[in-house]
Amino acid sequence: MLKDITIGQYFPGDTLVHKLDPRVKIFTAILYIIALFFVKDFYPYIFIILFIATVVRTAKLPIKFIIKGLKPLMFIIIITFTINLLFTRGEVLFSLGPISVTKEGIIQSVFMALRLILLIVGTSLLTLTTSPIALTDGIESLLSPFRKIGLPSHELAMMMTIALRFIPTLLEETDKIMKAQMARGADFESGNILNRAKSLVPLLVPLFINAFRRADELATAMEARCYRGGEGRTRLNELKFDKKDSAILLSLIVFFGFIMSTRYW
Out of 56-70, 103-117, 189-203, the most confident range is: 103-117
Of 54, 109, 45, 47, nearest in space to 82 by CA: 109
Over the stretch 162-189, which tens digit does the pLDDT of each residue have? 877 777 777 778 878 888 887 877 776 6
In order, the DSSP letters of 52-68 are HHHHHHHHT--HHHHHH
- 165 vs 253 pLDDT, higher one: 253
Q: Total domain count for the chain?
A: 2
pLDDT band at 144 (very low <50, low <70, confident <90, very high): confident
**Averaged pLDDT of the chain:** 83
Instruction: Report which of residues 103 and 252 the model is more confident about.
Output: 252
**Residues of the domain holding 207:** 155-233
Clarify whether residues 247 and 159 are in a common domain: no
- Alpha-helix runs per DSSP H in the chain: 16-19, 22-38, 43-59, 63-68, 74-87, 103-129, 132-143, 153-183, 193-199, 201-224, 243-261
Flag whether 70 is in a domain: yes
Look at residue 181 and tell me if it is in a domain.
yes
Q: What sign does the CA torsion over 191, 76, 61, 25 have?
A: negative
**Is the full-model pTM beyond 0.85?**
no
Q: Is the pLDDT of residue 3 over 90?
A: no
**What is the DSSP secondary-structure string of 213-258?**
HHHHHHHHHHHHTT---STT---SS-----HHHHHHHHHHHHHHHH
Residue 212 CA: distances (Å) to CA of 171, 175, 209: 15, 17, 5
pLDDT of amino acid 236 = 67
Residues 55 and 95 in one domain: yes
Query: What tens digit of pLDDT does each residue of 79-115 get?
Result: 888 888 888 887 877 777 777 788 888 888 999 999 9
Same domain, 114 and 40: yes
- Kindly state the average pLDDT of the residues 129-137: 83
How far, rounded to the nearest angstrom, does the alpha carbon of residue 257 sit from its chain's CA centroid?
Answer: 22
- Mean predicted confidence (pLDDT) in 144-168: 78
pLDDT of residue 75: 83
